A and B are shown apart, each in its own frame.
Chain A
Amino acid sequence: GESVGLHLPTLSVQEGDNSIINCAYSNSASDYFIWYKQESGKGPQFIIDIRSNMDKRQGQRVTVLLNKTVKHLSLQIAATQPGDSAVYFCAENTYRGTSYGKLTFGQGTILTVHP
C-alpha cells in the first residue's frame, strides 16, 4: 500500500525560531491532509488540515504548505515555544470506495525546543 513518511525524524530548535517539519506522501490520489501534535503519553491533537485543491493554509502560528507536484507537505511553526515540543505527524486521506475516512499516518518527527 501507499504510505506517508517524514524526511527528518528529529528537529531541535531554539525558542523563538521558526520550525519546519516535512512530510512526503506517495499517493497522488490523496485528497486531504492533516497535521497532528502528540505530547508524551497523550493522544494526538489536531493542529491544521489542508485539502488537495489548496497550496497553503494558515492557522494560529502554524502554516501548512502543500506541493502536489513533488508530493510534499510541510508544517511551519512560527516563534516556536517550549510548549511546542512534541511529536508531529502528518496523515493523508484518500476518498476512494471503502477507504473513505481511513487515514494513513506518518511515523512522526520529534520537535525539541530549547529555552
Chain B
Amino acid sequence: DGGITQSPKYLFRKEGQNVTLSCEQNLNHDAMYWYRQDPGQGLRLIYYSQIVNDFQKGDIAEGYSVSREKKESFPLTVTSAQKNPTAFYLCASRAQETQYFGPGTRLLVL
C-alpha cells in the first residue's frame, strides 16, 4: 500500500445519502486517481487529477464528485445520483508512468 491511505475500510450508505471516501498520500505525487472495481470486471476510472486544484472526469464520472485542494488529498464523494454505488473503490497516485494503489474502501448500500 505504500504511502497511500484510504478510509474508511468499509462504508455504508443509506438511500439518498451522499458519502465521502478519503484518500491521502505522503509520496509527494502530483497525479491521483479514483477507480471503481466490480466483481469480474477491470478497474474503471472515475476521476483523476494531474495537479492541485485541477481534476478531470474519467470514464464513469456520473454520480461522483471530487476535489483537490491539497496535493496530499483527493476525496471522492458518492452522491445520491449514483444509483448503483456498491463496489470496491480504489485510489491511486502516480510516479512517472506507474500508479500505486491504496488499500481500498468497500461501499455498501443499506
Contact = CB atoms under 8 A, between A and B. Distances in A.
Contacts, number: 49
B99 interface: yes
Interface stretch (B13-21, B37-45, B66-74, B75-83): B37-45
A35 B96 CA distance: 16
Interface string B90-110: 100010011111111010000
Contacts of B46: none
A92 to B, nearest CB: 10
Contacts of A98: 56
A42 B48 contact: no
Contacts of B98: 34, 46, 49
Contacts of A107: 40-42
Interface of A: 4, 32, 34, 36, 41-46, 49, 89, 91, 93, 98, 101-103, 105-108
